[in-house]
A and B are shown apart, each in its own frame.
Chain A
Amino acid sequence: MSASEPVTANVASDAPGRPGRFREFWRYFRENRGAVAGLVVFALFIVVAILADVIAPHSPTQQFRSALLQPPFWQEGGTTDFLLGTDPLGRDMLSRLIHGTRYSFFIGVIVVFIAATSGILLGLIAGFARGWVDTLIMRLMDILLAFPSLLLALVMVAILGPSLTNAMIAIAIVLQPHYVRLTRAAVLGERAKDYVTSARVVGASRLRLMFVTVLPNCLAPLIVQAALSFSTAILDAAALGFLGLGAQPPTPEWGTMLADSREFVLRAWWVVTLPGIAILVNVLAINLMGDGLRDALDPKLKRS
């Protein structure tokens, strides 16, 4: 911390209302170069996902029978028709990768949405109800957490049948206990504070207390968790796809693409390397952002 900083901090906290809070958050976030880089890459991914139909040179499922396993253009035998080469069925790698961004983004959004809404709701109920409701909810979460996440997702997919939708449901269920625990812990911390008591004394209903008074003050750790589970969702969905239990071929989902090309691992490096790089870069960008969010939102962790 430099000596000039307290002055700017005072200015920020003097600004009235929420814009000041956001500006303070942004000031912390901006300092973290990795987090900003992550944000930029993630934004790029979103743009690519939205414009996939326009950017992709070919259809992701069209098979070019005359160009099976063609290497990328800079290697011998490659052409600029297929910049990143083709897969064993003659489909354009670049187009498949571009369309894959849609799936991974879609998976992340849906999984986090389901896991976070249900988890936060249960956590609020547990934190406010206390007593046997609390015990019941928390014991159920303990049971879910006793199973390694990927294993539980695997088994759920075995019950529901292998598909991308079922894989997303399974991953959402597996990630949800973390939200319950975080929300409950935050609620227990806030409940005893004066502002909650005064709201109660003024006659705020229980629902109002839960959603309007307390929840906004519990959001910081939950936002960080959302970023982290976004990347976990993408990784786990890719892992399930890789094991043949997630998205099914010919879906251009990155994990499924890797599974399809496994046998060519020693013959055609590009079919194996490229989808993996896409997953890694995407997940890394989100994790960088998540770290930045944590540092900016959670003052207790700012030191580390």
Chain B
Amino acid sequence: MGGFLLRRLITFVPTFIGVSIVSFFFIRLLPGDPIILMAGERGMSDERYAQLAAQFGYDQPLVMQYWDYVTGILHGDLGTSFRTKRPVWDEFFALFPATVELSLCAMVFAVLIGLPAGIVAAVHRGKWPDQALMSSALVGYSMPIFWWALLLIILFSGILGWTPVSGRISLLYYFPDATGFMLIDSLRSGQSGAFASAVQHLILPTIVLGTIPLAVIARQTRSAMLEVLGEDYVRTARAKGLSPARVNGLHALRNAMIPVVTVIGLSVGTLLAGAILTETIFSWPGIGKWMVESINGRDYTSVQGGLLMIALIVMLVNLAVDVTYGLINPKVRKG
């Protein structure tokens, strides 16, 4: 087990270095002079230029610049945002909880519906529930989610008037940010209606962001279940006279869960990519919307920092998934 962990960690390090090199070169690959870009000043004098170059460390050799960049990262320094003049690190972590909250809700939604859907489809293989569920899953999988969001807004906000169109909570409520998670903060605030408002704001973004993971989970659960249902031990369990519910639920599902859990873990990248679109449409103040705004506003230090942090998070989650997978499934450890 120790060897497995070590091997996995060893592949993590070069990937991390690579990711940091990519984000390091990002600013330097932009068309135009990075110093003029970063300063955002027009017609600056030569002295000012030299002063800024020294301030940003651009007068150093490239290797030294990279070294400073990496040591900066390890100390939690991602530079200063052009737009807000605040540290990118602080900006990122101020907005991150909103994205985590939305992603977690989307994942819970996807699992709560996708898992049973996949099981039902597998148990009724080839019959109408299977066909109906898998057709819907394929539609969900093919969905342009930015359009799906607009459709849901037309229906639920426009025609029915049930849900708000944007933001995390109604402007009527104000309370200090304690955890950054609106559901928890609104409950703690004790203001009546605050929690309900937060939930209302979450519903549509959750459905939109959860749609593709839901479809993937349903499809994956179905094929994992079918795989397991064909195994000898399941037949034995049936032959022993166990009830179908017990066979399907206990014997089959438990083993079918292994690949499904992996898929859930590996959906983090999908979620963060989906968050870019979902947050932009619903004006959800998370890192996805922040990245798009930073790109449109030419706030390149923020884009650079966000790029690095998001990749790092995806890598860490994948690492955690792999390690957990190794713990559950001894076959993988041998690798």
Are A and B co-members of a single complex? yes
Interface set of A (CB-CB < 8 Å, partner B)? 34, 139-140, 142-143, 146-151, 154-155, 158-159, 161, 231, 235, 238-239, 242-245, 255, 258, 262, 265-266, 269, 272-273, 275-276, 279-280, 283-284, 287-288, 291, 303-304
Among A139, A142, A155, A242, the one with the most B-chain Cβ atoms within 10 Å of its Cβ is A155
State whether A265 and B26 are in contact (beta carbons under 8 Å apart), knowing that A147-B310, A231-B142 are contacts in the complex. Answer: no
CB distance from A247 to the nearest CB of B (A): 15
CB nearest to A152 among chain B residues: B307
In the bound assembly, the distance between CA atoms of A150 and B296 in angstroms comes to 15
Contacts of A148 in B (CB 8 A): 269-270, 272-273, 276, 310, 314
CB nearest to A277 among chain B residues: B147
Is the Cβ of A243 less than 8 Å from the Cβ of B151? no
Is the Cβ of B150 less than 8 Å from the Cβ of A151? no
Stretch in B109-117, B167-175, B223-231 touching the partner: B223-231
Is the Cβ of A275 less than 8 Å from the Cβ of B147? yes
CB nearest to B11 among chain A residues: A142
Asked whether B141 is an interface residue with its Cβ less than 8 Å from the other chain, the reply is yes
CB distance from A97 to the nearest CB of B (A): 13
Q: Given A154-B276, A242-B146, 16 more contacts at CB 8 Å?
A: A139-B14, A142-B11, A143-B18, A143-B19, A146-B18, A146-B311, A148-B310, A235-B144, A238-B144, A239-B277, A258-B146, A276-B151, A280-B147, A291-B138, A303-B227, A304-B227
Contacts of A159 in B (CB 8 A): 26, 29-31
B1-33 residues at the A interface, CB under 8 angstroms: 11, 14-15, 18-19, 22, 26, 29-31
In the bound assembly, the distance between CA atoms of A149 and B269 in angstroms comes to 8
B222-281 residues at the A interface, CB under 8 angstroms: 222-223, 226-227, 230, 269-270, 272-274, 276-277, 280
Contacts of B291 in A (CB 8 A): 151, 154
CB distance from A8 to the nearest CB of B (A): 21
Is the Cβ of B315 less than 8 Å from the Cβ of A146? yes
Contacts of B272 in A (CB 8 A): 148, 151
Contacts of A151 in B (CB 8 A): 272-273, 276, 291, 307, 310
Contacts of A155 in B (CB 8 A): 26, 295, 303, 307
Is the Cβ of A158 less than 8 Å from the Cβ of B315? no
Contacts of A142 in B (CB 8 A): 11, 14-15, 18
CB nearest to A236 among chain B residues: B273
20 contacts between A and B (CB under 8 A): A139-B18, A142-B11, A142-B15, A148-B270, A148-B273, A148-B276, A149-B269, A150-B277, A151-B276, A154-B291, A158-B300, A161-B31, A243-B280, A265-B154, A272-B150, A276-B151, A280-B139, A280-B144, A303-B230, A304-B227
In the bound assembly, the distance between CA atoms of A264 and B11 in angstroms comes to 49
Is the Cβ of A265 less than 8 Å from the Cβ of B314? no
Asked whether B40 is an interface residue with its Cβ less than 8 Å from the other chain, the reply is no
Is the Cβ of B307 less than 8 Å from the Cβ of A147? yes
In the bound assembly, the distance between CA atoms of A275 and B147 in angstroms comes to 9
A304 CB contact (under 8 Å) in B30, B226, B296:
B226
CB distance from B92 to the nearest CB of A (A): 14
CB distance from A143 to the nearest CB of B (A): 4
Interface set of B (CB-CB < 8 Å, partner A)? 11, 14-15, 18-19, 22, 26, 29-31, 135, 138-139, 141-144, 146-148, 150-151, 153-154, 157-158, 222-223, 226-227, 230, 269-270, 272-274, 276-277, 280, 291-292, 295-296, 300, 303, 307, 310-311, 314-315
In the bound assembly, the distance between CA atoms of A262 and B154 in angstroms comes to 11
In the bound assembly, the distance between CA atoms of A151 and B153 in angstroms comes to 24
In the bound assembly, the distance between CA atoms of A23 and B291 in angstroms comes to 50
CB nearest to A143 among chain B residues: B18
State whether A303 and B226 are in contact (beta carbons under 8 Å apart), knowing that A155-B307, A291-B138 are contacts in the complex. Answer: yes
CB nearest to A148 among chain B residues: B273
CB distance from A220 to the nearest CB of B (A): 18
B141 CB contact (under 8 Å) in A239, A287, A304:
A287
Contacts of A238 in B (CB 8 A): 144, 146
Contacts of A288 in B (CB 8 A): 138
In the bound assembly, the distance between CA atoms of A272 and B281 in angstroms comes to 13
CB nearest to A231 among chain B residues: B142
Contacts of A272 in B (CB 8 A): 147, 150-151, 154
B276 CB contact (under 8 Å) in A139, A150, A265, A269:
A150
